[in-house]
Amino acid sequence: MSARISATDVAKVARLARLDVTPAEIELMTLQLGGMLEHFADVDLLDLADVTPMTQPYPLTNVFRADEVRPCLDRDEVLAAAPAAEDGCFRVPPIGGEG
Amino acid sequence: MSRSTASDIAAAVRSGATTAAAVLEGHLAAIALREPEIHAFNLVLADAAREHAAAIDAQVAAGDDPGPLTGVTIALKDNMCTRGVDTTCSSKILEGWKPPYNATVVDTLRAAGAVIVGKTNLDEFAMGSSTENSAFGPTKNPHDTSRVPGGSSGGSAAAVAAGFSQVALGSDTGGSIRQPAAHCGVVGVKPTYGYVSRYGLVAFASSLDQIGPFTNSVHDAALLLNVIGGHDPLDSTSIPQQHPSLVDAIQQGVEGLRVGRITDLPEGADPDVQERLEAAFEALREQGATIVDVTVPAFTFGLTAYYLIAPAEASSNLARYDGVRYGMRVDAPDTNAMYGATRAAGFGEEVKRRIMLGTYALSAGYYDAYYGKALKVRRLIHDDFERAYQTADVLLTPTSPTVAFKFGEKSDNPFAMYLCDTYTIPSNLAGHPGMSVPFGTGAHGMPVGVQVLAGTLQEPVMFRVGAALERAVAK
């Protein structure tokens, strides 16, 4: 069993990821994620103190488009792809248990 | 017909020597014959393709020029949005979804006269190296149906290898074009990050994903990239400049070019693959290139950095599949329960594993230890490559450590599957281009690909080397 991640961690991460998992899945993922994180031991040996993190491969700066009204996706076409819609909006079950 | 070049086909249709309809029927016949066995497609668009081919023929008859890809058939990986046409990413969670818009490449291809024949199978959300992670069943390798076609763009690679379409598009996040190209004996190119618009490509790992071609020849790949490359205002990461013609570039040989051998390349390539790589060095030397030794010390950390960065980005990108705006929903009494149940039912095992890993790497308390460090390793890899490209114009490696493996051989061991991408992943992290060129066969008579790597926007020199390898094989 890896020391890097516990079953409790895995259950917590599953909640953060909004992913229902069974006890059997938690057991398997604890093993597999732990195994994958073990490979990180190599990286832990590197001296990275003075290295700048690289977040994007090509240096571009953000640009803003002009704030003008433009054509956009058709609302009915977009809503037609949703599991549920009503009155021009996406319809979802109650939030936070409210009716 | 499938072995003609795309430019031959376009020229023949434009001149009236043949028709787009006749070209298409040839491919549809091949599909009728072998697709039931191969399963390259999630969806064959026979009716729409026939309609489009007829329209192209009418344009030609009226004296118009439909474009550089007139009548050329193309298959699209099923993670590229096609308006009103199912786009599944081979995931149950998107089954039945019809996007309300086209990916930029779809519009560009149609404007160039290409005929879209279908949407090809992939590992779910492009996560995998064999298409075994598709929710709709795997694709078979046309060279040996007991073996995988590679992945994640296995359907596109198989479609071109089987003659189902003249060319295809895939996406490459860690090798998903080059590895299946090598396994199926076709050319596959991952361009520089930002070379081709990603607008309408369903995101897996946004800082790594790039669209590229599968073709039977280096020339076809050059032609296709000439069409789909270039700036797109709808993709803020697309490089705002015009790219030089790659068709023109491959007219030049490799005389005087410096081809790098990475002396500290991670070991693990099978002897048959290694033998083809040595033959490739020799072939380039014979054509006038110089072989130079280089080191890329951080290459070996690519796999580890990738398997934190890609899942981290994926966990964020895939948060949008929550049963609200598109795809499937599992009903539940409140939204939180609905999210959890929908995502549990809609995602496959590998996708769940990566979402979990990515969420963990980004979570409070672990961010610096994992994700932050992985981004620093990414910088080391990039800088090591840049140093190597000061002494070499291109680098040559195997594309994949082995020939195509058997179904089930690696599907029980995630890490064994990840090792397939050892040689392809580092260039995605660096943002550099890479291509796989078929270079003979290895064990079991299966195709072997040699990978050509180059620096940012060095596609012209990479294609010259690719074309030289192709010439050597033709001899």
pLDDT bracket for residue A99 (50, 70, 90): very low
Q: How far apart, in Å, are the Cα atoms of B316 and each of B9, B245, B359?
A: 43, 36, 8
| Active-site residue flag, B119 | no
Q: B1-10, B160-169, B237-246, B439-448: which has the minimum mean pLDDT?
A: B1-10
Mutate to test the interface with B, among A2, A15, A18, A22 (most CBs of B within 10 A): A18
| Active-site residue flag, B190 | no
By Cβ distance, the residue of B236, B319, B376 closest to A51 is B376
Mean pLDDT score of chain B, rounded to an integer? 97
Report pLDDT for A3: 66
The answer, yes or no, to whether residue B56 has pLDDT greater than 90, is: yes
Report pLDDT for A1: 40
Report pLDDT digits (tens) over B352-376: 999 999 999 999 999 999 999 999 9
Inside any domain, residue B18: yes
Inside any domain, residue B204: yes
Beta partners for B450?
B398, B437
The average pLDDT across B5-16 equals 96
Inside any domain, residue B180: yes
- The residue among A59 and B39 whose pLDDT is bigger is B39
Q: Do A20 and B377 touch (CB under 8 A)?
A: no
Report pLDDT digits (tens) over B254-274: 999 999 999 999 999 999 999
DSSP strand pairing (B167-172 vs B73-77): parallel
Inside any domain, residue B197: yes
| Active-site residue flag, B129 | no
The amino acid sitting at B200 is G
B429 and chain A in contact, CB less than 8 A? yes
B324 and chain A in contact, CB less than 8 A? yes
Nearest chain A residue to B310, by CA: A55
Domain span at B98: 6-249
Question: Would you list the domain boundaries of chain A?
Answer: 7-44
DSSP class of B25:
H
Q: Domain A7-44 carries which CATH code?
A: 1.10.20
Beta partners for B434?
B190, B453
Q: Do B334 and A93 touch (CB under 8 A)?
A: yes
pLDDT bracket for residue A97 (50, 70, 90): low
Task: Give the C-alpha separation, B468 to B5, whole Å.
Answer: 17
B166: domain CATH number is 3.90.1300.10
Report pLDDT digits (tens) over B269-292: 999 999 999 999 999 999 999 999
Asked whether the whole model's pTM tops 0.90, one would answer yes
B301 and chain A in contact, CB less than 8 A? yes
Nearest Cα to Cα of residue B223 among B190, B246, B249, B250: B246
Nearest Cα to Cα of residue B129 among B413, B364, B361: B413
Task: Give the C-alpha separation, B131 to B123, whole Å.
Answer: 4
The average pLDDT across B306-333 equals 96
The answer, yes or no, to whether residue A73 has pLDDT greater than 80, is: yes
Q: Do B324 and A46 touch (CB under 8 A)?
A: no
Q: Distance (Å) from the C-alpha of residue B88 to the closest C-alpha of chain A? A: 13
Mutate to test the interface with A, among B192, B193, B196, B376 (most CBs of A within 10 A): B376
Q: Distance (Å) from the C-alpha of residue A94 to the closest C-alpha of chain B? A: 5
- Number of domains chain B is built from: 1
The average pLDDT across B88-112 equals 96
Task: Give the C-alpha separation, B291 to B262, whole Å.
Answer: 11
B306 and chain A in contact, CB less than 8 A? no
B330 and chain A in contact, CB less than 8 A? no
Tokens of B98: 């019809």
Structure-token match 């028709």, residue found: B19
A17 and chain B in contact, CB less than 8 A? yes
- The residue among B310 and B411 whose pLDDT is bigger is B310
Report pLDDT for B1: 39
The answer, yes or no, to whether residue B227 has pLDDT greater than 50, is: yes
The average pLDDT across B344-352 equals 98
The answer, yes or no, to whether residue B18 has pLDDT greater than 90, is: yes
How many helical (H) and strand (E) elements, i.e. helices and strands, does chain B have? 16, 11
Mark B263-295 as b/e (b = at least 16 C-beta within 10 Å): eebbeebbebbbebbebbeebbeebebeeeebe
B291 and chain A in contact, CB less than 8 A? no
* Chain B residues touching residue A83 (CB < 8 angstroms): 323-324, 326-329
Quick one: what percent of chain B has pLDDT higher than 90?
97
Which member of B152, B315, B411, B427 is catalytic? B152
Q: With beta carbons less than 8 A apart as the criterion, state whether B170 and B180 touch.
A: yes
